[in-house]
Amino acid sequence: MAARRDGGEILVGLDIGTTKVAAVVGEVTERGIDVIGVGQQMCKGFRRGTVINIDQTAASIRAAVAEAAQMSGCEIGVAHIGISGQHVQALDSTGLVAVKGGEVTPDDVARVLENARAQNLPRDREILHAVPQEYIIDDEPGIHEPVGMSGVRLEAKVHIVTGSASQIHNMLKCCALCDIEVAGVTLEHIAAAEATLQDDEKKLGVALVDVGGSLTNVAVYADGTLRHTAVVAMGGSHISNDIRIGLRTVEEEAERIKRRYACALASMVDPEESINVPRVGHRPPDTVPRSALCSIVGPRAEEILTDVRRAIDASGFADVLNGGVVLTGGGACIAGLEELAEQVMQMHGQVRVGKPVGFGGMTGMVDSPMFATAVGLLLRAARRENGHDAAWTAKTRERDGNRGKRILEVLRQWF
């Protein structure tokens, strides 16, 4: 159970990424949810969606949560976390059941979704999401709200997202070391979409591109529902590394230069503009044309976007993206990336940068694409979904039978 402050329920979204850990605290009100605290720390011990050092990752989580707790004035003991990485896989499944009584009931919907979830997965896989794409009643497709409709046979097409059980366990252990109970695990693609995409865009067809530290997440929506997910194994840290090598500077300075001066299109930069670049060792700083920085940033950004386009093409929905492409994540803050994406994806005027929306309170603190996932986790937790497309939770663990029992046994050993 989440904490309360003056009668309002307190929820926490925790985004654990390669370059940063972001914790956002929200208070549920009659109007929706208000952000009341934010914490952010550099992340160590985490790479490409994988925990490589539990103690370092836990230390980063602890520091970010402590900062958010101090700002909000709340004790944080429960959080909703995001997960991504190349270990995340997706498949489409179908469920079929007979309708009891001739009219579809919520119980029939639950049974058909459970039928679709009954996949013979390897022991090292856990179901994160089972997203209904459409229902079919007596061979009539395209139904999104089947309850109350007449029929004798109910079919469901479902997009199932799975993750590595060991990686989920490692994430849980990092949080447990910080005395934080994980209320749910959500795919970061879905969380970022919750905070940045409009319902009309999802109906028209839209691709969300979340440019993170070492990964770029892609989620394709059409007809109002999730249709495809993918992960590109490059992100903003690859651009930072190129800057570090190309300008022969230290890692911290490369990151600072990227955030302040990087541009993905050289045509957008004044050719006379220069920047100061600190050198390694005791060498004096150097003055470099900003256009030289763009010549480093541009090719890598184009490579990332090209791989994103391939992922979208592979989804089979590239031709129905009438809502265009939405860029978000920390990498989306790079100047010129929006314009370069229009060129690479051949979508003139159909690419925008997505910032978190749909909440109140301290909006200025999280008014940046880099907080899209953390805010999205908060919004999903507040929405209290019916469970068909809910995040991985203790409840779904129990419903998953033997797989759930294995996880609970591991948790008992930890505590």
Q: What is the pLDDT of residues 208-231, one digit of tens each?
A: 999 998 899 999 999 999 999 999
Mean pLDDT, all residues of the chain: 88
Compute the distance between CA of residue 43 and CA of residue 46 in angstroms, rounded to an integer.
Answer: 7
Lowest mean pLDDT among 32-46, 234-248, 317-331: 32-46
Compute the distance between CA of residue 348 and CA of residue 342 in angstroms, rounded to an integer.
Answer: 5
**CA atoms within a 13 Å half-sphere pointing along the CA-CB vector of 119:** 22
Residue 210 · residue 216 · CB < 8 Å: yes
DSSP 8-state class, residue 392? B
Of 120, 331, 90, 126, nearest in space to 229 by CA: 90
Residue 288 · residue 248 · CB < 8 Å: no
Supply angle C-alpha 275, 277, 280, rounded to 5: 175
Q: What pLDDT is attached to residue 414?
A: 44
283-290 average pLDDT score: 89
Q: SS3 of 129, please? A: strand
Tokens in use for 344? 């690479």
Q: What pLDDT is attached to residue 47?
A: 79
pLDDT tens digits, residue range 144-170? 899 999 999 999 999 999 999 999 999
pLDDT band for position 246 (cuts 50, 70, 90):
very high
172-180 average pLDDT score: 93
Long-range pairs of 330-333 with CB within 8 A, sequence gap ≥ 24? 330/19, 330/20, 330/211, 330/212, 330/213, 330/236, 330/369, 330/370, 331/211, 331/212, 331/216, 331/235, 331/236, 331/239, 331/304, 332/209, 332/210, 332/211, 332/369, 333/259, 333/368, 333/369, 333/370
CB atoms within 10 A of CB 372: 33
Q: What pLDDT is attached to residue 8?
A: 65
Q: What pLDDT is attached to residue 401?
A: 47
Of 252, 314, 304, 312, nearest in space to 277 by CA: 252
pLDDT band for position 411 (cuts 50, 70, 90):
very low
pLDDT band for position 1 (cuts 50, 70, 90):
very low
What's this model's pTM, rounded to 2 decimal places?
A: 0.87
Compute the distance between CA of residue 138 and CA of residue 83 in angstroms, rounded to an integer.
Answer: 37
Q: What pLDDT is attached to residue 118?
A: 86
Residue 177 has pLDDT above 50, yes or no: yes
Supply angle C-alpha 329, 330, 335, rounded to 5: 110
Of 113, 106, 118, 108, nearest in space to 153 by CA: 108
Cβ-based burial of 346 (10 A; exposed 0-12, middle 13-18, buried ≥19): exposed
The residue with tokens 């920047």 is 275
The residue with tokens 């907080």 is 371
pLDDT tens digits, residue range 342-390? 999 999 889 999 999 999 988 899 999 999 999 999 999 988 643 444 4
Q: What pLDDT is attached to residue 281?
A: 77
Residue 108 has pLDDT above 60, yes or no: yes
CB atoms within 10 A of CB 411: 17
pLDDT band for position 324 (cuts 50, 70, 90):
very high
Residue 10 has pLDDT above 60, yes or no: yes
Q: What pLDDT is attached to residue 393?
A: 58
Q: What pLDDT is attached to residue 392?
A: 57
**CA atoms within a 13 Å half-sphere pointing along the CA-CB vector of 85:** 23
